[in-house]
Structure 1
Amino acid sequence: MAPIRSLSGLTGKTQVLGIIGHPIIHSLSPPMQNAALQELGIDSVYVPFSVEPNQVEAAIAGLWALG
């Protein structure tokens, strides 16, 4: 999988987008979405979140808490 983005390019205003799944390593979404975001100059990063099926509800609650 291609690197997501250099951490030095992330700011407090960088929007975090992503995909939840398990297993998630096979997903082609992060490199495709990050290439598009970078090409469009959008300050966002798209990351895979590996979440076990029995933890999905807790993971989503945690994401909501982050805003």
Structure 2
Amino acid sequence: MSGSPAAGGQLRSGDVIVSVGDVGVSKAGDLQRLMVEAKIGSKLALEVMRGDQLITLTVVPVELS
């Protein structure tokens, strides 16, 4: 989604988010809660499985409209 934290952090279709910062993510609700609790404008590290590689992306939460 253009303009979203996911797009800014280079998240791709098929990526599986494993953690946000040092907190594990096992379901969509975990990710949603962590993003809502995050400070707007702060940098967050996402660990993502992309294929068979574990990579780290940086996203910046924004105010949703």
Q: Structure 1 or 2: larger strand share? A: 2
The TM-score normalised by the length of structure 1 is: 0.30
Normalised by the size of structure 2, how large is the TM-score?
Answer: 0.30
Q: Which structure has the larger Rg over C-alpha atoms?
A: 1
The structure with the greater share of residues assigned to helix is: 1
